[in-house]
Amino acid sequence: MPSAITPAPKVRGKLSVSKRNQIITIGGQAILPGERKTVDLEVGKLYTHSALTMPVQVLCGKQAGPKLFVSAAIHGDELNGVEIIRRLLKVKALNRLKGSLIAVPIVNLHGFIHHSRYLPDRRDLNRSFPGSEKGSIASRMAHLFLNEVVKQSTHGIDLHTGAINRSNLPQIRANLDDPETLRLAHTFGAPLMLNSDLRDGSLRAAAVKKNIPILLYEAGEALRFDEVSIRAGVRGILNVMRELEMLPRSRKKIEKGEKPKKSVVARSSFWLRAPQSGIFRSIVPDGARVIANVTLMGVVSDPFGETEMEIYSTNNGIVIGQMKMPLVNEGEALFHVARFARSDKAAESVDDFNEEMLNDLFLPYPMDDIPNIC
């Protein structure tokens, strides 16, 4: 007798060929398809004999798909990314995850505990890749993260803020010459993008050498939460996961027929520096459009106000970051300005982004499946 053949399930009129996901092994622990597990990767021992660990949460979907890592606090004082990942892990749609999500909210645990950008030996972890199994703490941490997390992934998103006393407008920095990276950068939905050169020793450089597309999201400032930057970060990661078909498309956007807005790409960027030492007063916010030699951006004066020097940009552009500390020394970087072929178009992109984020702030449920925790 001929055997009965069960027809393949259909989804929206198309044949569905779903393969079962593979087991992921991190830190010697196996995470099975459909399982969610937290793994503490041990970097080494502190002089107190306590273990120095790197906490990792792995979500292994039942069905096969891309493997995305999302990391934060490579610099221990950059907190926005930690909150972005915390909120991301609460999204209910992750129950339908295809592929795997590897979330590392605190890469540099030692710096995080001490509110410091650096490690105990004052090394910058993001200049220590690919690292070494027998090197310094920074080198060992970089080696561990690269081998246990990055090499297991097909894509990556690394979350950052400005340095101490410096703010950053939400932006994506990436190797935009790579078509896959460019596609995901546009999908993320930040208002602006910079085609950023790779720096020796950085996570991005190490990932690119492994042919892993990676986005770097910069937003806010160190040691501070910024609600707009956090919400934009969560939304951006979900946008990328939907583009990679790790999550189902948003039904609301499908019903409305919404198309993602493309970010504007900066041609280059430069810093405006303090013309003298003194007290700095900024006049323009992040995201402001400035006209060369016309827009007054700030003033540096002595404590009596007898000597005041005004600051103007040498080129048209958009302010993408600035100094927040009012006490500055001569030559100190004050404003980070990005140049565009059309700065007016870039300003429109920033305005649209701000309006969208402002509307989200007033909604009880600002994004799909994300509860309001303001």
Domain count, the chain: 2
Asked if the structure places residue 223 within a domain, the reply is yes
**What are residue 282's DSSP bridge partners?**
298
Q: What is the pLDDT of residue 6?
A: 38
- 178 and 247 in a single domain? The answer is yes
Q: What is the pLDDT of residue 260?
A: 63
- 257 and 223 in a single domain? The answer is yes
The CA distances from residue 157 to 13, 84, 246, 298, 339, in Å, are 33, 12, 14, 34, 24
- 338 and 249 in a single domain? The answer is no
Residue-by-residue DSSP string for 84-111: HHHHHTT-GGGGG-EEEEEEES-S-HHH
**Which residues contact residue 269 at a Cβ distance below 8 angstroms, ignoring those fewer than 6 apart?**
194, 317, 320, 336, 337, 338, 339
The percentage of residues in the chain with a pLDDT greater than 90, rounded to a whole number, is 81
- 42 and 125 in a single domain? The answer is yes
- 80 and 131 in a single domain? The answer is yes
Contact 142, 129 (CB under 8 A): yes
Global pTM value: 0.90
- 273 and 256 in a single domain? The answer is no
- 223 and 308 in a single domain? The answer is no
Asked if the structure places residue 241 within a domain, the reply is yes
Asked if the structure places residue 165 within a domain, the reply is yes
- 239 and 120 in a single domain? The answer is yes
Q: What is the pLDDT of residue 13?
A: 38
Q: Which domain holds residue 309?
A: 267-357
CATH number of the domain bearing residue 304? 2.40.50.100
Task: Report residue 354's pLDDT band, with 50, 70 and 90 as the boundaries.
Answer: confident
- 233 and 300 in a single domain? The answer is no
Q: Which two structure tokens, joined as six digits, stand for 334?
A: 């004050």
- 278 and 255 in a single domain? The answer is no
Q: Which two structure tokens, joined as six digits, stand for 86?
A: 């915390």
- 181 and 240 in a single domain? The answer is yes
Taking all residues of the chain, what is their mean pLDDT, rounded to a whole number? 90
- Compare 63 and 259 and report the one with higher pLDDT: 63
Q: What is the pLDDT of residue 256?
A: 56
**Which residues contact residue 188 at a Cβ distance below 8 angstroms, ignoring those fewer than 6 apart?**
157, 172, 215, 217, 236, 237, 239, 240, 263
Asked if the structure places residue 44 within a domain, the reply is yes
Determine the average pLDDT of the residues in 85-107: 97
Residue-by-residue DSSP string for 35-63: -EEEEEEEEEE-TTS-EEEEEEEEEE-SE
Task: Report residue 251's pLDDT band, with 50, 70 and 90 as the boundaries.
Answer: low
- Compare 189 and 16 and report the one with higher pLDDT: 189
Asked if the structure places residue 308 within a domain, the reply is yes
- 74 and 120 in a single domain? The answer is yes
